[in-house]
Structure 1
């Protein structure tokens, strides 16, 4: 194949065609994702160390996280109301400004428990932003394009992971505190740019305009009171509850893998900590290859089959990790590879299924409820997983295995969207 043919083939890739055909909000928001993703991935591995290095104790760090989780549930609950009342575009801008730009500015100057707590509380505005951002992203898009749009969102996050080692190199030269301070400042500026770009190039969605008009003369308290009718409707919607159950399970298993994988690998398997930075990059590389090279070829396949396969792969990967011999890096590499393929199959479809199964007229408030339920239902399991890990490092992953089996059963009962049949 000639260079010209390869270029033409690349330009005709379904994911690029999707961006070309979805002008406006989807394309703008997808292209802006690295403004958030790159600094986030540069900072995240060292955020706890940044606090600890400035005298914040383990107990205080845990207290900050616990308080933040409670506030996140509250903010998520109000996210739908504000998104309807103020509009998708304005609420997204507000969430980015207060939840990230202001929060990161405070983080950049934080040197004690109280400043870190204030920064974390401002960051809780991000829960409002999530509801509005997803509505702004997909409401004017065609339902058949949702899987591709969510694939792009995942790709944006994965690309950002490749920048993560840069912060490690900088910290080796300049130490943690000054490097993370500068990175938080960069993050604050990036998110301010994101607010300006959103204001300039995004438009309020059709449904957003309808909901703004409908709620113009309705007080926030009355809209909050309306939840007493909406919550039972959501709880009685079997399809929404099935997808919500899978979402909660994936949230819990992500808590386990995020917080206990490094402990398990270093403390139980005896693998040196210097290899830890390699595993997220391998995961991102495999997911990118899968999403760009294979994902679009599965668009005509029913949602359940790829999700079944993905969840089964998750379960197999956990068993591989549990059975890995001490010091066996190849076993861990295979685990990371299998998890990456599983995530490529499951995550975009889970996000798309949520949007395809909810009432479009109440998308903002239902999304807010789903987010609140997910965080609230999952919150006790961080402590539970920690308790299991204190008994035996393998137990949190055995718990994850059991949850993946439950998810497989639930997915078997989910109805495929009409357009995928």
Structure 2
């Protein structure tokens, strides 16, 4: 009886982490190295730019230019990942896309330096393709939802460090604090590169692709994309996930970059409170993912995803109608958005990987990433223009799509 009770107490996520040694466990445990500094900065990144004289329209323009570059980088991401391997490409993406980018952000004070930082950060898209392959290629398919849930949890736990930046900003103002945090971010990413080098192994499929592409030129591999594009377009399941991915990419782009301006400049909420909203978001998502997510594994993906998308639309309305100075409305918005994200994001990622040909995972992933960013790229500038007219309009746009 005692053994039965003990077995029942074992959480499926803990068992999954014990089972998946090697790359999945290493990458999951390393996630806070990226997540902690990212979440310390994220609530204040746009404000950091705005405080230094970068206008709403310029912020939107930077985002659109960066996304245009990301499309190109993503397109080559699969080729680079196949030729150099998942491990080396992940390390390169972390080094240039985050380490160097954060150092440039740390010294940025005008439009051009911010643009350069965002362009360096665009190389992170190569990392995205390689990192996902490194994470899941040697894992069992039935573990994918759990692995993506763990990645989400790793990022969410990091958010609880966000109040530190709020307290520091309350004492020293936005610009100097964010500059130091970007330097810390850069150092963390260099540590992450070293850990990846020492404790991750190239995947089985990665070794196969490196061997097969050894004598093939980049131009020839680019030419082969025409068949892959047709393959993706004919796969209805992939196209469904791609459609949802584009919508979510746009909404995330808009809300991440214009939420802080909206609540501080229009609703009159003090800057020091910005760091607490991500904590509420993280708390709700953690409770959901640890206490509820595994109970929904027997439910078809379609139902939770539909509910999540409806909640995304509903929370946009909550933010639009929020009275000036009303923190309770913002809290409700964050709560609903967190539940929506917990329902949709892990399932969207898992669905995509389940429907991809494992032999062409890197190139198909990079293609899908390119399509997603290409479709979303004009909306950075568009959202910036909307925000310059009325800070509510970017969230009206989110509701519409």
* TM-score > 0.5, shorter chain as reference: yes
Superimposed CA distance per residue, residues 287-320 of structure 1 (whole angstroms, 9 cap, x where no aligned partner): 0111111111111211111112222222332333
Instruction: Assess, with a 3 A threshold, how the Cα gap between structure 1 residues 244 and 102 changes in structure 2: closer, same or farther.
Output: same
Aligned residue among 119, 122, 138 for 1:121: 119
Determine the structure 2 residue equivalent to 1:332: 330
Normalising by structure 2, we get a TM-score of: 0.91
CA distance in 2, matches of 1:184, 1:260: 20
Task: Return 176-185 or 333-342, whichever deviates more.
Answer: 176-185
Displacement of 1:265: 4.0
Superimposed CA distance per residue, residues 3-44 of structure 1 (whole angstroms, 9 cap, x where no aligned partner): x999x6797111111100000010000100000111111123
Instruction: Assess, with a 3 A threshold, how the Cα gap between structure 1 residues 37 and 83 changes in structure 2: closer, same or farther.
Output: same
CA distance in 2, matches of 1:389, 1:115: 22
Superimposed CA distance per residue, residues 154-207 of structure 1 (whole angstroms, 9 cap, x where no aligned partner): 111111111112122223333444433332222222111111111111111111
Determine the structure 1 residue equivalent to 2:190: 192
Task: Return 269-278 or 75-84, whichever deviates more.
Answer: 269-278
SS where residue 122 of structure 1 aligns? helix
User: Does the aligned pair in 2 maintain the 1:36–1:191 contact within 8 Å?
Assistant: yes
Query: What are structure 1's unaligned runs of at least 5 residues?
Result: 404-421
Superimposed CA distance per residue, residues 215-248 of structure 1 (whole angstroms, 9 cap, x where no aligned partner): 0100111111111221122112111111100010
Determine the structure 1 residue equivalent to 2:239: 241
Aligned residue among 104, 107, 114 for 1:106: 104
CA distance in 1, matches of 2:387, 2:107: 34
SS where residue 301 of structure 1 aligns? coil
CA distance in 1, matches of 2:57, 2:266: 24
Q: Which has the higher contact order (CA 8 A, sep 6+)?
A: 2
Determine the structure 1 residue equivalent to 2:284: 286
User: Does the aligned pair in 1 maintain the 2:165–2:275 contact within 8 Å?
Assistant: no
User: Does the aligned pair in 2 maintain the 1:81–1:365 contact within 8 Å?
Assistant: yes
1:157 paired with 2:155, answer yes
Determine the structure 1 residue equivalent to 2:129: 131
Determine the structure 1 residue equivalent to 2:29: 31
Determine the structure 1 residue equivalent to 2:219: 221
Displacement of 1:96: 0.9
Determine the structure 2 residue equivalent to 1:406: none
SS where residue 280 of structure 1 aligns? helix
Instruction: Assess, with a 3 A threshold, how the Cα gap between structure 1 residues 259 and 104 changes in structure 2: closer, same or farther.
Output: closer
User: Does the aligned pair in 2 maintain the 1:11–1:17 contact within 8 Å?
Assistant: no
User: Does the aligned pair in 1 maintain the 2:159–2:282 contact within 8 Å?
Assistant: yes
Instruction: Assess, with a 3 A threshold, how the Cα gap between structure 1 residues 313 and 9 changes in structure 2: closer, same or farther.
Output: farther
Aligned residue among 309, 316, 319 for 1:318: 316
User: Does the aligned pair in 1 maintain the 2:74–2:366 contact within 8 Å?
Assistant: yes
CA distance in 2, matches of 1:170, 1:204: 41
CA distance in 1, matches of 2:394, 2:55: 25
User: Does the aligned pair in 2 maintain the 1:87–1:208 contact within 8 Å?
Assistant: yes
Determine the structure 2 residue equivalent to 1:409: none
Determine the structure 1 residue equivalent to 2:307: 309
Superimposed CA distance per residue, residues 29-62 of structure 1 (whole angstroms, 9 cap, x where no aligned partner): 0100000111111123333444555666666555
User: Does the aligned pair in 1 maintain the 2:169–2:272 contact within 8 Å?
Assistant: no
Determine the structure 2 residue equivalent to 1:232: 230
Instruction: Assess, with a 3 A threshold, how the Cα gap between structure 1 residues 254 and 122 changes in structure 2: closer, same or farther.
Output: closer
Superimposed CA distance per residue, residues 393-415 of structure 1 (whole angstroms, 9 cap, x where no aligned partner): 54443433333xxxxxxxxxxxx
Determine the structure 2 residue equivalent to 1:208: 206
CA distance in 2, matches of 1:145, 1:275: 37
Aligned residue among 167, 170, 173 for 2:168: 170
Determine the structure 2 residue equivalent to 1:47: 45
SS where residue 204 of structure 1 aligns? coil
Task: Return 233-242 or 323-332, whichever deviates more.
Answer: 323-332
CA distance in 2, matches of 1:395, 1:367: 32
Normalising by structure 1, we get a TM-score of: 0.86
Instruction: Assess, with a 3 A threshold, how the Cα gap between structure 1 residues 183 and 276 changes in structure 2: closer, same or farther.
Output: closer
SS where residue 139 of structure 2 aligns? coil
Task: Return 332-341 or 75-84, whichever deviates more.
Answer: 332-341
CA distance in 2, matches of 1:158, 1:34: 9
CA distance in 1, matches of 2:269, 2:383: 21
Determine the structure 2 residue equivalent to 1:407: none
Aligned residue among 354, 365, 379 for 1:381: 379
